[in-house]
Amino acid sequence: MDWLDEVKWDAQGLVPVIAQEVGTNDVLMFAFMNREALRLTAERGEAVYWSRSRGRLWHKGEESGHLQKVHELRLDCDNDVVLMKVTQLGHEPGIACHTGRHSCFYQRLDDGRWTAVEPVLKDPEHIYK
């Protein structure tokens, strides 16, 4: 059996993916992959996602230069979520979020309001080509 056949794909042929930073264990982002994206990620050792907004494969960092080097791929107990252990490349410290922050999970619920608790490391206007 092909290892990709063991993944439980949703009705759209996608699987949720969590990118976690090696070393810090920070959760950098959440996205989706289709079969081709997961296969390419495993082959290249760099994250390739399925962009629902673009409707196409998206090699992380293709515009920003903020690549994700993949060290390890894990599948959860139900075979329906992938965890990637990555090193975020392209800026020090690594920027994973399109807002110019280290992590996409930069908002925290404080007293009934979402508050940005992580700084913008680089203005997005200067990131994207």
Please report the pLDDT score of residue 125 as a whole number: 79
Please report the pLDDT score of residue 61 as a whole number: 83
The residue among 70, 15, 22 whose CA lies nearest residue 43 is 70
How many angstroms separate the CA atoms of 13 and 54, rounded?
16
Please report the pLDDT score of residue 128 as a whole number: 64
CATH superfamily of 3-93: Phosphoribosyl-AMP cyclohydrolase (3.10.20.810)
Domain locations along the chain: 3-93
Please report the pLDDT score of residue 129 as a whole number: 58
Verify cis geometry, omega within 30 degrees of 0, for the bond prior to 124.
no
Place of tokens 């997961």: 38
Q: Kindly tell me the sign of the dihedral angle through the C-alpha atoms of 31, 33, 37, 41.
A: positive
Give the pTM.
0.86
Average pLDDT per 10 consecutive residues for the chain, totaling 129 residues: 94 97 94 97 97 92 87 96 93 80 88 92 76
Please report the pLDDT score of residue 124 as a whole number: 77
